[in-house]
Structure 1
Protein backbone atom coordinates (compact mmCIF):
# COMPACT_ATOMS: atom_id res chain seq x y z
CA UNK A 1 0.00 0.00 0.00
CA UNK A 2 2.71 2.48 1.01
CA UNK A 3 4.71 1.95 -2.14
CA UNK A 4 7.78 3.96 -3.09
CA UNK A 5 5.75 5.45 -5.92
CA UNK A 6 3.07 6.66 -3.49
CA UNK A 7 5.58 8.16 -1.05
CA UNK A 8 7.60 9.95 -3.75
CA UNK A 9 4.49 11.26 -5.53
CA UNK A 10 2.99 12.47 -2.24
CA UNK A 11 6.21 14.20 -1.26
CA UNK A 12 6.38 16.01 -4.60
CA UNK A 13 2.73 17.10 -4.27
CA UNK A 14 3.26 18.39 -0.72
CA UNK A 15 6.51 20.19 -1.60
CA UNK A 16 4.91 22.19 -4.43
CA UNK A 17 4.33 25.72 -3.06
CA UNK A 18 0.66 26.56 -2.69
CA UNK A 19 -1.59 28.53 -0.37
CA UNK A 20 -0.63 26.46 2.66
CA UNK A 21 3.09 26.86 2.06
CA UNK A 22 2.78 30.62 1.51
CA UNK A 23 0.74 30.99 4.69
CA UNK A 24 3.10 28.84 6.78
CA UNK A 25 6.21 30.65 5.55
CA UNK A 26 4.71 34.09 6.14
CA UNK A 27 3.58 32.99 9.62
CA UNK A 28 7.02 31.62 10.48
CA UNK A 29 8.63 34.89 9.43
CA UNK A 30 6.14 37.09 11.25
CA UNK A 31 5.61 35.14 14.47
CA UNK A 32 8.32 32.52 14.82
CA UNK A 33 8.67 28.77 15.32
CA UNK A 34 5.65 28.16 17.55
CA UNK A 35 3.35 30.02 15.20
CA UNK A 36 4.58 28.01 12.20
CA UNK A 37 3.71 24.86 14.15
CA UNK A 38 0.09 26.00 14.54
CA UNK A 39 -0.06 27.11 10.90
CA UNK A 40 1.18 23.68 9.78
CA UNK A 41 -1.37 22.00 12.04
CA UNK A 42 -4.22 24.10 10.66
CA UNK A 43 -3.22 23.43 7.04
CA UNK A 44 -3.05 19.71 7.75
CA UNK A 45 -6.45 19.69 9.47
CA UNK A 46 -7.85 21.60 6.49
CA UNK A 47 -7.31 18.63 4.19
CA UNK A 48 -9.18 16.23 6.50
CA UNK A 49 -12.66 17.08 5.10
CA UNK A 50 -11.36 16.57 1.55
CA UNK A 51 -9.85 13.21 2.48
CA UNK A 52 -13.06 12.16 4.24
CA UNK A 53 -15.05 13.21 1.19
CA UNK A 54 -12.87 10.97 -0.95
CA UNK A 55 -13.05 8.01 1.43
CA UNK A 56 -16.83 8.31 1.86
CA UNK A 57 -17.49 8.84 -1.81
CA UNK A 58 -18.81 12.36 -1.41
CA UNK A 59 -16.15 13.63 -3.80
CA UNK A 60 -18.12 12.05 -6.63
CA UNK A 61 -21.00 14.41 -5.77
CA UNK A 62 -18.64 17.38 -5.82
CA UNK A 63 -17.30 16.23 -9.18
CA UNK A 64 -20.74 16.01 -10.77
CA UNK A 65 -22.41 18.97 -9.05
CA UNK A 66 -21.34 22.20 -10.74
CA UNK A 67 -23.25 24.26 -8.16
CA UNK A 68 -21.50 22.70 -5.14
CA UNK A 69 -18.10 23.10 -6.77
CA UNK A 70 -18.68 26.72 -7.76
CA UNK A 71 -20.01 27.75 -4.34
CA UNK A 72 -17.01 26.31 -2.50
CA UNK A 73 -14.61 27.63 -5.13
CA UNK A 74 -15.76 31.25 -4.87
CA UNK A 75 -15.78 31.09 -1.07
CA UNK A 76 -12.14 30.06 -1.32
CA UNK A 77 -11.39 32.83 -3.83
CA UNK A 78 -12.96 35.44 -1.54
CA UNK A 79 -10.92 34.22 1.42
CA UNK A 80 -7.64 34.25 -0.51
CA UNK A 81 -8.31 37.78 -1.77
CA UNK A 82 -9.14 38.86 1.78
CA UNK A 83 -5.77 37.50 2.94
CA UNK A 84 -4.04 39.29 0.05
CA UNK A 85 -5.60 42.65 0.98
CA UNK A 86 -4.97 42.17 4.72
CA UNK A 87 -1.33 41.25 4.07
CA UNK A 88 -0.80 44.20 1.70
CA UNK A 89 -2.32 46.70 4.17
CA UNK A 90 -0.47 45.37 7.21
CA UNK A 91 2.21 47.91 8.09
CA UNK A 92 3.32 46.43 11.41
CA UNK A 93 6.96 45.38 11.54
CA UNK A 94 7.98 41.77 12.07
CA UNK A 95 9.08 41.51 15.69
CA UNK A 96 10.85 38.82 17.67
CA UNK A 97 8.26 38.05 20.30
CA UNK A 98 7.02 34.53 21.10
CA UNK A 99 3.33 33.75 20.96
CA UNK A 100 1.76 33.49 24.39
CA UNK A 101 -1.98 33.85 24.03
CA UNK A 102 -3.96 30.70 23.30
CA UNK A 103 -6.36 32.83 21.27
CA UNK A 104 -3.59 33.70 18.81
CA UNK A 105 -2.73 30.03 18.40
CA UNK A 106 -6.36 29.07 17.81
CA UNK A 107 -6.76 31.94 15.35
CA UNK A 108 -3.78 30.72 13.32
CA UNK A 109 -5.11 27.15 13.24
CA UNK A 110 -8.54 28.36 12.09
CA UNK A 111 -7.04 30.64 9.44
CA UNK A 112 -4.89 27.85 8.03
CA UNK A 113 -7.78 25.38 8.24
CA UNK A 114 -10.02 27.67 6.19
CA UNK A 115 -7.32 28.05 3.54
CA UNK A 116 -7.48 24.37 2.67
CA UNK A 117 -11.10 23.52 3.41
CA UNK A 118 -12.28 26.24 1.00
CA UNK A 119 -10.35 24.77 -1.92
CA UNK A 120 -12.63 22.34 -3.83
CA UNK A 121 -9.75 21.34 -6.09
CA UNK A 122 -8.34 19.33 -3.19
CA UNK A 123 -11.41 17.08 -3.10
CA UNK A 124 -11.13 16.41 -6.82
CA UNK A 125 -7.38 15.87 -6.47
CA UNK A 126 -7.76 13.26 -3.75
CA UNK A 127 -10.56 11.56 -5.69
CA UNK A 128 -8.16 11.11 -8.62
CA UNK A 129 -4.98 10.57 -6.60
CA UNK A 130 -5.60 8.18 -3.71
CA UNK A 131 -7.53 5.35 -5.47
CA UNK A 132 -4.56 4.78 -7.77
CA UNK A 133 -2.60 3.36 -4.84
CA UNK A 134 -5.26 1.00 -3.48
CA UNK A 135 -4.14 -2.55 -4.16
CA UNK A 136 -6.36 -4.37 -6.66
CA UNK A 137 -8.59 -6.92 -4.99
CA UNK A 138 -7.92 -5.47 -1.55
CA UNK A 139 -10.07 -6.98 1.19
CA UNK A 140 -10.89 -3.53 2.61
CA UNK A 141 -10.28 -0.67 0.14
CA UNK A 142 -11.74 1.83 2.62
CA UNK A 143 -9.15 0.93 5.26
CA UNK A 144 -6.42 1.30 2.66
CA UNK A 145 -7.75 4.73 1.70
CA UNK A 146 -7.75 5.73 5.38
CA UNK A 147 -4.15 4.54 5.74
CA UNK A 148 -3.03 6.39 2.62
CA UNK A 149 -4.82 9.51 3.83
CA UNK A 150 -3.08 9.30 7.20
CA UNK A 151 0.33 8.97 5.55
CA UNK A 152 -0.39 11.95 3.27
CA UNK A 153 -1.48 14.07 6.26
CA UNK A 154 1.64 13.17 8.24
CA UNK A 155 3.81 14.11 5.28
CA UNK A 156 1.92 17.38 4.83
CA UNK A 157 2.42 18.35 8.46
CA UNK A 158 6.12 17.48 8.42
CA UNK A 159 6.90 19.34 5.19
CA UNK A 160 4.88 22.42 6.14
CA UNK A 161 6.53 22.55 9.55
CA UNK A 162 9.94 22.34 7.86
CA UNK A 163 8.98 25.28 5.62
CA UNK A 164 7.96 27.26 8.69
CA UNK A 165 11.18 26.44 10.58
CA UNK A 166 13.29 27.43 7.58
CA UNK A 167 11.42 30.73 7.42
CA UNK A 168 12.12 31.24 11.13
CA UNK A 169 15.82 30.57 10.54
CA UNK A 170 15.98 33.56 8.18
CA UNK A 171 13.83 35.70 10.45
CA UNK A 172 16.64 37.75 12.01
CA UNK A 173 17.93 39.01 8.67
CA UNK A 174 14.35 39.87 7.65
CA UNK A 175 13.62 41.76 10.88
CA UNK A 176 16.79 43.84 10.53
CA UNK A 177 15.79 45.08 7.07
CA UNK A 178 12.59 47.13 6.68
CA UNK A 179 13.10 46.99 2.91
CA UNK A 180 13.11 43.17 2.94
CA UNK A 181 10.01 43.20 5.15
CA UNK A 182 8.14 45.41 2.72
CA UNK A 183 9.22 43.28 -0.24
CA UNK A 184 8.15 40.06 1.49
CA UNK A 185 4.78 41.48 2.50
CA UNK A 186 4.04 42.56 -1.08
CA UNK A 187 5.24 39.18 -2.35
CA UNK A 188 2.97 37.26 0.05
CA UNK A 189 0.02 39.51 -0.82
CA UNK A 190 0.66 38.99 -4.54
CA UNK A 191 0.97 35.23 -4.00
CA UNK A 192 -2.39 35.05 -2.20
CA UNK A 193 -4.02 37.19 -4.91
CA UNK A 194 -2.46 35.08 -7.66
CA UNK A 195 -3.59 31.83 -6.08
CA UNK A 196 -7.09 33.25 -5.63
CA UNK A 197 -7.20 34.29 -9.29
CA UNK A 198 -5.94 30.88 -10.36
CA UNK A 199 -8.67 29.19 -8.30
CA UNK A 200 -11.33 31.53 -9.75
CA UNK A 201 -10.31 30.61 -13.30
CA UNK A 202 -10.03 26.88 -12.64
CA UNK A 203 -12.46 24.31 -13.95
CA UNK A 204 -13.29 20.99 -12.34
Structure 2
Protein backbone atom coordinates (compact mmCIF):
# COMPACT_ATOMS: atom_id res chain seq x y z
CA UNK A 1 0.00 0.00 0.00
CA UNK A 2 2.49 2.65 1.20
CA UNK A 3 5.12 2.05 -1.45
CA UNK A 4 8.04 4.00 -2.86
CA UNK A 5 6.05 4.35 -6.07
CA UNK A 6 3.18 6.04 -4.21
CA UNK A 7 5.55 8.36 -2.31
CA UNK A 8 7.28 9.39 -5.53
CA UNK A 9 3.97 9.95 -7.33
CA UNK A 10 2.56 11.97 -4.45
CA UNK A 11 5.74 14.04 -4.18
CA UNK A 12 5.66 14.94 -7.88
CA UNK A 13 1.98 15.92 -7.64
CA UNK A 14 2.54 18.04 -4.52
CA UNK A 15 5.65 19.69 -5.95
CA UNK A 16 3.89 20.82 -9.14
CA UNK A 17 2.87 24.50 -8.88
CA UNK A 18 -0.86 25.03 -8.49
CA UNK A 19 -3.32 27.34 -6.78
CA UNK A 20 -2.23 26.39 -3.26
CA UNK A 21 1.44 26.90 -4.06
CA UNK A 22 0.67 30.26 -5.65
CA UNK A 23 -1.30 31.34 -2.59
CA UNK A 24 1.45 30.24 -0.19
CA UNK A 25 4.09 32.09 -2.21
CA UNK A 26 1.99 35.25 -2.26
CA UNK A 27 1.45 35.08 1.50
CA UNK A 28 5.13 34.38 2.17
CA UNK A 29 6.21 37.37 0.11
CA UNK A 30 3.53 39.66 1.48
CA UNK A 31 3.42 38.69 5.15
CA UNK A 32 6.45 36.55 6.00
CA UNK A 33 7.25 33.01 7.10
CA UNK A 34 4.74 32.69 9.96
CA UNK A 35 1.84 33.63 7.71
CA UNK A 36 3.13 31.27 5.01
CA UNK A 37 2.98 28.38 7.49
CA UNK A 38 -0.67 29.18 8.21
CA UNK A 39 -1.30 29.37 4.45
CA UNK A 40 0.26 25.91 4.00
CA UNK A 41 -1.80 24.59 6.91
CA UNK A 42 -5.02 25.94 5.43
CA UNK A 43 -4.31 24.53 1.97
CA UNK A 44 -3.56 21.16 3.56
CA UNK A 45 -6.78 21.02 5.58
CA UNK A 46 -8.71 22.06 2.48
CA UNK A 47 -7.87 18.60 1.14
CA UNK A 48 -9.82 16.81 3.90
CA UNK A 49 -13.35 17.14 2.40
CA UNK A 50 -12.13 15.78 -0.93
CA UNK A 51 -10.31 12.88 0.71
CA UNK A 52 -13.46 11.99 2.65
CA UNK A 53 -15.55 12.30 -0.50
CA UNK A 54 -13.24 9.97 -2.39
CA UNK A 55 -13.12 7.46 0.49
CA UNK A 56 -16.90 7.42 0.92
CA UNK A 57 -17.70 7.33 -2.79
CA UNK A 58 -19.17 10.84 -2.90
CA UNK A 59 -16.65 11.91 -5.52
CA UNK A 60 -18.35 9.62 -8.03
CA UNK A 61 -21.69 11.32 -7.28
CA UNK A 62 -20.09 14.72 -7.76
CA UNK A 63 -18.63 13.58 -11.05
CA UNK A 64 -22.01 12.19 -12.16
CA UNK A 65 -24.01 15.28 -11.20
CA UNK A 66 -23.30 18.00 -13.75
CA UNK A 67 -25.33 20.56 -11.77
CA UNK A 68 -23.54 19.95 -8.46
CA UNK A 69 -20.15 19.94 -10.16
CA UNK A 70 -20.95 23.22 -11.93
CA UNK A 71 -22.13 24.92 -8.73
CA UNK A 72 -18.96 24.02 -6.82
CA UNK A 73 -16.79 24.82 -9.83
CA UNK A 74 -18.11 28.32 -10.36
CA UNK A 75 -17.96 29.04 -6.63
CA UNK A 76 -14.26 28.18 -6.96
CA UNK A 77 -13.90 30.37 -10.04
CA UNK A 78 -15.50 33.32 -8.24
CA UNK A 79 -13.15 32.81 -5.30
CA UNK A 80 -10.07 32.78 -7.55
CA UNK A 81 -11.23 35.99 -9.20
CA UNK A 82 -11.63 37.53 -5.75
CA UNK A 83 -8.06 36.48 -4.89
CA UNK A 84 -6.83 38.10 -8.11
CA UNK A 85 -8.55 41.32 -7.03
CA UNK A 86 -6.96 41.05 -3.58
CA UNK A 87 -3.52 40.90 -5.23
CA UNK A 88 -3.90 44.24 -7.00
CA UNK A 89 -6.22 46.22 -4.69
CA UNK A 90 -4.45 48.65 -2.35
CA UNK A 91 -4.52 47.03 1.07
CA UNK A 92 -5.73 43.74 -0.44
CA UNK A 93 -5.21 40.49 1.46
CA UNK A 94 -2.67 39.22 -1.09
CA UNK A 95 -1.07 42.49 -2.09
CA UNK A 96 2.65 42.82 -1.43
CA UNK A 97 3.30 46.20 0.20
CA UNK A 98 5.46 47.52 3.06
CA UNK A 99 2.57 48.95 5.07
CA UNK A 100 0.52 45.76 5.12
CA UNK A 101 -1.07 44.97 8.49
CA UNK A 102 -0.49 41.59 10.11
CA UNK A 103 -3.51 39.29 9.77
CA UNK A 104 -4.61 36.63 12.26
CA UNK A 105 -3.24 33.23 11.28
CA UNK A 106 -6.70 31.65 11.20
CA UNK A 107 -7.81 34.06 8.50
CA UNK A 108 -4.80 33.25 6.32
CA UNK A 109 -5.47 29.53 6.83
CA UNK A 110 -9.18 29.95 6.11
CA UNK A 111 -8.49 31.44 2.67
CA UNK A 112 -6.05 28.64 1.89
CA UNK A 113 -8.59 26.00 2.91
CA UNK A 114 -11.30 27.54 0.72
CA UNK A 115 -8.99 27.44 -2.30
CA UNK A 116 -8.96 23.63 -2.16
CA UNK A 117 -12.47 23.08 -0.80
CA UNK A 118 -13.97 24.94 -3.77
CA UNK A 119 -12.07 22.90 -6.34
CA UNK A 120 -14.33 19.94 -7.30
CA UNK A 121 -11.59 18.32 -9.37
CA UNK A 122 -9.70 17.41 -6.19
CA UNK A 123 -12.30 14.81 -5.18
CA UNK A 124 -12.12 13.19 -8.59
CA UNK A 125 -8.32 13.44 -8.47
CA UNK A 126 -8.19 11.42 -5.24
CA UNK A 127 -10.65 8.92 -6.66
CA UNK A 128 -8.23 8.37 -9.55
CA UNK A 129 -4.92 8.63 -7.66
CA UNK A 130 -5.41 6.46 -4.59
CA UNK A 131 -7.18 3.22 -5.72
CA UNK A 132 -4.23 1.90 -7.79
CA UNK A 133 -2.13 1.83 -4.61
CA UNK A 134 -4.64 -0.09 -2.47
CA UNK A 135 -4.10 -3.71 -1.47
CA UNK A 136 -7.35 -4.83 -3.08
CA UNK A 137 -9.00 -6.01 0.14
CA UNK A 138 -12.53 -4.49 0.28
CA UNK A 139 -12.71 -4.57 4.08
CA UNK A 140 -9.63 -2.33 4.45
CA UNK A 141 -10.09 -0.11 1.38
CA UNK A 142 -11.47 2.91 3.27
CA UNK A 143 -8.79 2.76 5.97
CA UNK A 144 -6.08 2.42 3.33
CA UNK A 145 -7.38 5.40 1.36
CA UNK A 146 -7.44 7.50 4.52
CA UNK A 147 -3.88 6.45 5.35
CA UNK A 148 -2.60 7.29 1.88
CA UNK A 149 -4.52 10.56 1.99
CA UNK A 150 -2.97 11.45 5.35
CA UNK A 151 0.51 10.83 3.94
CA UNK A 152 -0.36 12.98 0.91
CA UNK A 153 -1.52 15.77 3.23
CA UNK A 154 1.65 15.59 5.32
CA UNK A 155 3.74 15.88 2.16
CA UNK A 156 1.60 18.78 0.97
CA UNK A 157 2.15 20.68 4.20
CA UNK A 158 5.91 20.05 4.23
CA UNK A 159 6.43 21.08 0.61
CA UNK A 160 4.21 24.15 0.93
CA UNK A 161 6.11 25.27 4.04
CA UNK A 162 9.35 25.07 2.06
CA UNK A 163 7.81 27.12 -0.76
CA UNK A 164 6.60 29.66 1.79
CA UNK A 165 9.98 29.82 3.52
CA UNK A 166 11.75 30.60 0.23
CA UNK A 167 9.20 33.32 -0.50
CA UNK A 168 9.57 34.80 2.98
CA UNK A 169 13.36 34.82 2.58
CA UNK A 170 12.97 36.99 -0.53
CA UNK A 171 10.50 39.34 1.20
CA UNK A 172 13.01 42.02 2.26
CA UNK A 173 14.47 42.23 -1.24
CA UNK A 174 11.01 42.52 -2.79
CA UNK A 175 9.85 45.21 -0.34
CA UNK A 176 12.93 47.27 -1.14
CA UNK A 177 11.92 47.55 -4.80
CA UNK A 178 8.75 49.33 -5.92
CA UNK A 179 9.16 47.83 -9.36
CA UNK A 180 9.45 44.27 -7.99
CA UNK A 181 6.34 44.72 -5.83
CA UNK A 182 4.33 46.11 -8.72
CA UNK A 183 5.47 43.32 -11.05
CA UNK A 184 4.75 40.56 -8.53
CA UNK A 185 1.31 41.89 -7.60
CA UNK A 186 0.33 41.97 -11.25
CA UNK A 187 1.83 38.52 -11.81
CA UNK A 188 -0.09 36.96 -8.92
CA UNK A 189 -3.31 38.62 -10.06
CA UNK A 190 -2.83 37.35 -13.62
CA UNK A 191 -2.00 33.85 -12.36
CA UNK A 192 -5.17 33.64 -10.26
CA UNK A 193 -7.18 34.88 -13.25
CA UNK A 194 -5.66 32.17 -15.46
CA UNK A 195 -6.30 29.47 -12.85
CA UNK A 196 -9.90 30.67 -12.57
CA UNK A 197 -10.30 30.49 -16.35
CA UNK A 198 -8.82 26.99 -16.40
CA UNK A 199 -11.19 25.82 -13.64
CA UNK A 200 -14.15 27.36 -15.51
CA UNK A 201 -13.22 25.29 -18.56
CA UNK A 202 -13.13 22.01 -16.58
CA UNK A 203 -15.89 19.48 -17.15
CA UNK A 204 -17.23 16.84 -14.80
TM-score, structure 2 normalization: 0.94
RMSD, aligned CA = 1.7
Q: What is the CA deviation profile of residues 125-178 of structure 1, one whole-angstrom value per residue up to 9, with x for unaligned ones?
A: 011111111012365111111110100000000001110000011111111111
CA distance in 1, matches of 2:96, 2:133: 46
- Counterpart for residue 88 of structure 2: 88
What residue number does 1:132 align with? 132
- 1:4-83 counterparts in 2 under 5 A? 4-83=4-83
- TM-score of the superposed pair, with normalisation by structure 1: 0.94
Aligned to 2:147: 147
C-alpha separation between the residues in 2 aligned to 1:93 and 1:26? 8
CA contact (8 A) 1:31 1:94 kept: no
The verdict on how the C-alpha distance between 1:194 and 1:93 changes in structure 2, with shifts beyond 3 A counting, is closer
User: Which region of structure 1 is more displaced relative to structure 2, 131-140 or 162-171?
Assistant: 131-140
Asked if structure 2 preserves the Cα contact closer than 8 Å seen for 1:14 and 1:156, the reply is: yes
Structure 1, unpaired ranges of 5+: none
Q: Within 1, Cα distance between the matches of 2:96 and 2:138?
A: 55
Contact 1:77 1:197 in 2 (8 A): yes
User: Which residue of structure 1 lines up, in the alignment, with residue 186 of structure 2?
Assistant: 186
Contact 2:29 2:96 in 1 (8 A): no
Aligned 8 A contact 2:96 2:185 in 1: no
Count of aligned pairs: 201
Determine the C-alpha separation between the residues in 2 that align with 1:86 and 1:175.
18
Q: Supply the distance in 2 between the matched residues of 1:97 and 1:190 (Cα, whole angstroms).
A: 21
Q: Give the CA deviation at 1:88.
A: 1.7
Q: Is the 8 A contact 1:29 1:94 kept in 2?
A: no
Moved over 4 A (4+): 96-99
Contact 1:34 1:98 in 2 (8 A): no
Aligned position for 1:116: 116
Match of 2:169 in 1: 169
